[in-house]
Every structure is written in C-alpha cells, then in structure tokens.
Amino acid sequence: MTTAPQTASVPAKTEPVDPVYRQIRDLVYKVSGIYKADEKLYLLADGCVRRMKVMGAKSPRDYWDYLTANPSRDGELRQLLNEITIGETCLFRSQPQLDAVRKVILPEIVVEKTKQITKRLRIWSAGCSTGEESYTLAMNMMEESERLLKGWTVEILATDLNDRSVETAKAGIYGDYALRNTTDYYKRKYFTTLDEKKLQVRPEVKKLITFSRLNLQDDSKMLFMKGMDLIFCCNVLIYFDGSSKAKVVNHYYTNLNFGGYFFLGTSESLLNLNDKFHLVHFPGSIAYWKPSLSSGKL
C-alpha cells in the first residue's frame, strides 16, 4: 500500500468540486442506482478521497482511471460504494418515507384489506443491518395502533446476511449517533435507559419484530417470504451484480401483496431492473408500487 498523497484532501462542503466527481457520480449511478445530488457530492468526494489514499491515486482524474481502466475496477467500485453508503443508518433516517407510510399508504392498505376482511399487516426490512430501520417501523406502527391499525396484527420481518448484525439488532441498544434523529417523545415512550450514553428498545417494541439471518440470493428461502405489504431494502442492492440484483428485485415483486409498496434508500433507484413496478411519488420520497387488483393498473 502506498502512502497517502498530499494532493488528496477532503473538499470542504462549500468549495466547488472537481468536475471528475460528477463523472464518478454518473458512473456510480449507472452501476448501482445510487445518486449523490450536488449538495451531497462532497460525501461522494469524501469517499473517493479515502479510497484515493488507499489506492495511492494522486488526483481525482487518476482515481477515475482506477474505476474505469484498471483491471480491478469492479472491485474498486464496490469498495467505493461501501465507502459512500457506510454509516448512513440511524433510527428515523427518512421522515418523508415514514410520512408516506403513515399518511398515504396505511390508509390505502387498511381500506383495501378491510374489503378482504384481513386485519394483518406484514412488513419486511430486507438487509436490516443492526435494526435501526426495523425498530423505527415498529414504533411508527405502534403509534397507529390506537388509530388506523386498531385491532390489527402487525408483523415485521427483519433479515440480514450478517449474523453479527442480526445479534446486534436483536439487542436493540443504541447510542447518540444512531439516535440523532429520534425525538424525546419516542425515546421516552419506546426506550429504557441503560447508561448515560445508551438506550435500549423496550420489549413491547421488540415483540413486533422477528429478526433472522437470510441470504437474499437463496431462492428457496426467498419463496417463503410471501404476503408482504411493505418491503424496505435500503442500500443493499449495491452488493449484487446486474443479474442477481434483477432476481432479488423480482422476488420482492412476487413476495409483495397486490397494492404493496417497495422502498429503497432515499437516493437509490431501481434503474430498469423491473418494469412491473409502478414508480410513485409521495411528498419527499419515492417508492415502487405493485398495483392493487382493484386499481385496474396491472
């Protein structure tokens, strides 16, 4: 490994970024569907600079060659994707997604399912990592338990490939960083204090969630994940190549109920992996919808 070149410094948020980073942004989007908007381009640049140091690239242009012309370019791109998506997880990471679920999607699903005399809601957090998203969803569903979801059974399945992540998730212990978006209201209602720096999710929240290890590429196991109303899969698809990604997405489509929704990370796109989903916009968020039988849009 070469020593870090002096030229590779982290660009400040306000400085104009090297145009090469826009090229890298486009490449990253083409390969992974992750788009770093201009105001977040510094995060991409930041990740690139860290990788440049490791690889000994002297300039962004030099690093561009590593990503496009070098024989190990695919591996390097994977490393860069890791860099730019790492550490994004926290509880209540995307309020617009939660608003969409509670204000638009739940009322719709409740109407739809009440027609079928079913009062069961199934949510899958696929690639749940250390559980932040799963608990956020559970707490939000509990908030609705006296209103929209009164008398309903809510099941949240949270899966991850990594055993250690699943164990951490089960423990449900979080520090300040993971709780930076969590309001005092939620902290008081759904957590117990472990020590000055750590809070633990209360057992009644945990009861809603089943954590387990699952390899999304295991076709036989994926077949058993049927009957979902909502699937969340944030910054997970980047770990798959084109054809396996399409297969996983296809499983998601099959596993969703008609009228169900599929959410990706906030700056992530499905690109052209599946044309059966309808892309839908909610205020501040987007999702993929499997049209309901009654919508006439299948």
Partner 1 sequence: MTTTSFTATIQDRVSRIDTMPSIPAVFLPLLELLNLPPENVKLDEVVKLVSYDNTIAAQCLRVASSPLFGLAKTPESIKGAVISLGLRRVETILLTCCLGSAFPSKNWALDPTIFWRHSLGCAMVCRKFSEKLAAPDTDKAYMAGLLHDIGFPVNCMVFPKEFAIATANATQAQIPLDEAERATMGFSHCETGRALAEKWHLANDLIQVIAFHHTPELCESAKPLVAMVHLSDLLCRMRNMGYGYYESRKVDLANNPAWAILLQEYRALEGIDLVRFTFELDEAAAEVFHLVSTIFGAGAAAGKS
Binding interface with partner 1 (CB under 8 A): 16, 29, 33, 35, 37-39, 99-100, 103-105, 107-108, 267, 269-271, 278-284, 286, 289, 297
Cβ proximity to partner 1: between 4 and 286 the closer is: 286
Cβ proximity to partner 1: between 100 and 169 the closer is: 100
Axis-axis angle for helices 73-85, 41-55 (nearest 10): 130
Question: CA 49, 54, 60, 63 torsion: positive or negative?
Answer: negative
Q: To the nearest whole angstrom, how small is the minimum distance from the Cβ of residue 157 to partner 1?
A: 24
How far, in Å, are 24, 32, 180 from residue 44 at the CA level? 9, 14, 22
Q: To the nearest whole angstrom, how small is the minimum distance from the Cβ of residue 243 to partner 1?
A: 20
Cβ proximity to partner 1: between 27 and 271 the closer is: 271
CA distance 99 to 116: 25
User: Residues 13, 45: contact at Cβ < 8 Å?
Assistant: no
Q: To the nearest whole angstrom, how small is the minimum distance from the Cβ of residue 47 to partner 1?
A: 17
User: Residues 260, 230: contact at Cβ < 8 Å?
Assistant: yes
CA nearest to 258, candidates 112, 101, 107: 112
CA distance 7 to 189: 49
Using the 8-state DSSP alphabet, how is residue 276 labeled?
S
User: Residues 265, 241: contact at Cβ < 8 Å?
Assistant: no
Q: To the nearest whole angstrom, how small is the minimum distance from the Cβ of residue 141 to partner 1?
A: 18
Cβ proximity to partner 1: between 19 and 284 the closer is: 284
Q: To the nearest whole angstrom, how small is the minimum distance from the Cβ of residue 166 to partner 1?
A: 30
Cβ proximity to partner 1: between 39 and 196 the closer is: 39
Q: What is the largest CA-CA distance in the chain?
A: 66
CA distance 196 to 89: 21
Strands 285-289 and 278-282, how do they pair? antiparallel
Q: To the nearest whole angstrom, how small is the minimum distance from the Cβ of residue 288 to partner 1?
A: 10
Cβ proximity to partner 1: between 13 and 197 the closer is: 13
Cβ proximity to partner 1: between 33 and 47 the closer is: 33
Q: To the nearest whole angstrom, how small is the minimum distance from the Cβ of residue 269 to partner 1?
A: 4
